[in-house]
Amino acid sequence: MPRTWLITGCSGGFGKEISKAALALGDNVVATSRNESKLADLAESGVHTVSLDVNAPQKDINAVVAEVISKYGSIDVLVNNAGYILEGGVEEASDEEARAHFDTNVFGQLAVARAVLPYMRAKKSGTIANMGSIAGWRGGINCGLYCSTKFALAGITEALKKEVQPLGISVVLIEPGYFRTDFLSGGHKVTPKKTIEDLVPVIKPLKDMFSMYDHKQPGDPVKGAQLIVEALTGTGRCAGRQLPDRLAIGSDAVAMISGVLEHKKKELDDWKDLAVTTDISD
């Protein structure tokens, strides 16, 4: 029996490629975007397309999910993929810009999960994949706010996994490295209106690197999407494997995360002798 997928942020990149890979399995795929017209090619291929703004009021998101349930009877896999990068210094981002970033990258994912989870709980089955990033492992110059949204998603996803696992629901954080999509350009990347001259010497080299790296990233989004679909369905190369809390995608992701873990372990060991002296002496 075919599964039903609900995937957000499908106008390009991973959202579009995951939709194609899931459809190739013979599953029902519901692809969403704020602008449904950007999904015309997916609609022509047999994907059901819907307009969905993850920043819309909860009742509107609930209504979209209810329509999907009415059409297909269930949502078996939710992929929370919608998001963008706010590029710039932490201090440069205004309160409005920072909150808007969290609204899409964090609270938008929470809102869609809230709408879908009651149906998964009723069936005692389902899989939720939140789209994180290797940015959720280390805060970086020029992308600190973006990193912070991915750190937040890591905590939310790990907690949610533990809460709903006894109910038969799987939850995983997908953490891609750099893949050759439009994520570093176009409408997926915005910059703060404010520039702080004191920060330019630190930030500009990273900003230039992002620009030079655009469309030269090592990851193939088609291959990445295929692995994600196999992992979420337990098919192909992932048959018999249990989903991890955080699934790294890309050789650069594996290398970077390994380096972060080694560095953090060293820092912990370097300060352990003092850290353990702070307990109450009973």
Does 146 qualify as catalytic in the annotation? Answer: yes
Q: What are the residues whose beta carbons fall under 8 Å from the beta carbon of 9, sequence distance 6 or more? A: 15, 32, 33, 54, 81, 82, 83, 131
CA distance 87 to 141: 9
Q: Which of 84, 146, 178, 213 is catalytic?
A: 146
Residue 188 and residue 88 in contact, taking contact as beta carbons nearer than 8 Å: no
**Sheet with 4-7, edge to edge strand ranges:** 48-51, 28-33, 4-7, 77-80, 126-131, 169-176, 246-249
CA distance 257 to 263: 10
- The residues assigned a catalytic role are 146
